Structure 1
C-alpha cells in the first residue's frame, strides 16, 4: 500500500524468513555497534564495519538488521538497559532527578548517544521500561497524562543537550570564546554582560546547575 511504512524493528522477526539458520543475534550486532561507536564515534558505525568486527560480511547483517537506521535505533534502546529502576520513593522530584542523573552518566559513557537522543528519539523495549518507570514515579502527580509524556521527552532531550554543552565547554575553542567574552566585559561597552560575569566565580570548580535546571524544567512541564 502506498505510503505504508515498515514497522519498527522490534515488531519484525529477529531474522529474515529465508536464508541460512541464524548465526548471530540482534543483541550481538548491537553490542558490536555500540563498542565501535564508543571507541571511534558514531560516524564509524556502518554495516561493513560492524560486520568486520563480528568477523562476517556486511551482506549477512542485512538478514538481521535491514538498515543502518535500524541499527541506530537498536543502539539507542540498548543503552536504556543500563538504568537501575528502583521503586518510587514518593518524592517525584527526587526520583526524576535520579533518572536524569543516570541518563547523564549513561550519555557520558556513550558520547554518541546525546546526538541520537536529540535527532532521532527512539522507544524500544528498554525505553518502554524506562517510560513505565517514569509514569510510576508520577502516578500520584495531578498532571495530565500528556504532560507526563512531555516530561519524559523533555528530561531526555534536556539531559542530552546538557551533556553536549559540558563536552563543548571543555573544548579549546570554548575557552577562546570565554577569553573574548571576558575582553568584552572588561571593555565596559556591554554593561549587562559585565555585570553577569562579575557575578560569576572566576576560579574553582563550577557549581553543578544541572539539578536546578532540570527541576525548573520539570516544574514548568508538569505545572
Structure 2
C-alpha cells in the first residue's frame, strides 16, 4: 500500500501526523539540504521517538515523495491558464520559483513522477490545457520536452548558487578571478567561437536566460501541435 493510501495511526502523547512530519522535514532540508533529512532528525525536531515516525512513513524515499508533493501545492496555479502555452510557461516559472525557495527540490526533479494529490493536480491542469489541440501522445511528449528543459535549467541555476556559497565568489567575482587565465587561452587563437562569445556575447541574468530558452522550446512545441481530425 502506498504512503498516499495508508491510514495514519492514532494520536499518542506527542501529537503527530504526516503534515507535521513533512513540514519538519522541509524545514530541515531548507536549512541544510536533503543530506540533513533523516527520520531520526525529523523525530528530534518534533520531540518524538524515531520509531514513532515509522507508523506514518516507512522509508526516507516516502518522506521525500511527501516533501515534493507538498511543494507541488506551491507550483499548482490558482487559476487554470488561458491556453496551452501559458499553462506550460506557468508550470516552468512556478517550478523554478519553488526550487529557489527550496533548493533541495532540484535534486528530486526529473525522476519517477510523484503520485501525490498535488503533483497529480499539476499534471492534470497541464495536460488539460493541451486537450483537444492534439493527440494524447503528442501532448505528453510536449509536456516532457518542456519539463526536460526547465529541469535542466533549474538544476544548473541551483548548482551555480551552491558554487557561489561554497567558494564565496559571486558570478562576477569568479569571472574576474578567472579572467587572466581565460584571456591567455583565448589569445592562442585556438578558440575563435569562444572568443566571440566572451567578447561580443551579451551577459544576461539567470531569470532572463531561463525565460528566453523556455520561449524557444515553446516555439518548437507549437510546430508539433495539430488539431486532431473531427
The answer to whether TM tops 0.5 is: yes
Structure 2 match to 1:76:
68
Q: Report how many residues are paired.
A: 210
TM-score normalised by structure 1 residue count: 0.81
Contact in 1 for aligned 2:88/2:143 (Cα 8 Å): no
Summarize the Cα distance change of 1:193–1:210 in structure 2 as closer, same or farther, 3 Å threshold: same
Match of residue 133, structure 2, among 141, 145, 160: 141
Structure 1: give runs of 5+ residues left out of the alignment: 1-6
Map 1:139-218 to 2 at 5 A. Answer: 139-142=131-134, 144-170=135-161, 171-172=163-164, 175=174, 179=179, 180-201=181-202, 208-218=208-218
Summarize the Cα distance change of 1:41–1:34 in structure 2 as closer, same or farther, 3 Å threshold: same
Deviation per CA, 1:134-169, whole angstroms, max 9, x where unpaired?
A: 012212422x21232233344344323212212333
State the superposition RMSD in angstroms: 2.6
Summarize the Cα distance change of 1:12–1:218 in structure 2 as closer, same or farther, 3 Å threshold: farther
Secondary structure, aligned partner of 1:187? coil
Q: How far apart are 1:128 and its partner, in Å? A: 0.5
Q: How far apart are 1:106 and its partner, in Å? A: 0.4
Summarize the Cα distance change of 1:207–1:185 in structure 2 as closer, same or farther, 3 Å threshold: farther
Structure 1: how far apart are the matches of 2:7 and 2:141? 31
Contact in 1 for aligned 2:80/2:87 (Cα 8 Å): no
Structure 1: how far apart are the matches of 2:148 and 2:99? 11
Q: Which moved more, 1:50-59 or 1:118-127?
A: 118-127
Map 1:35-184 to 2 at 5 A. Answer: 35-83=27-75, 84-90=77-83, 92-142=84-134, 144-170=135-161, 171-172=163-164, 175=174, 179=179, 180-184=181-185
Q: Which moved more, 1:171-180 or 1:68-77?
A: 171-180
Structure 1: how far apart are the matches of 2:46 and 2:207? 44
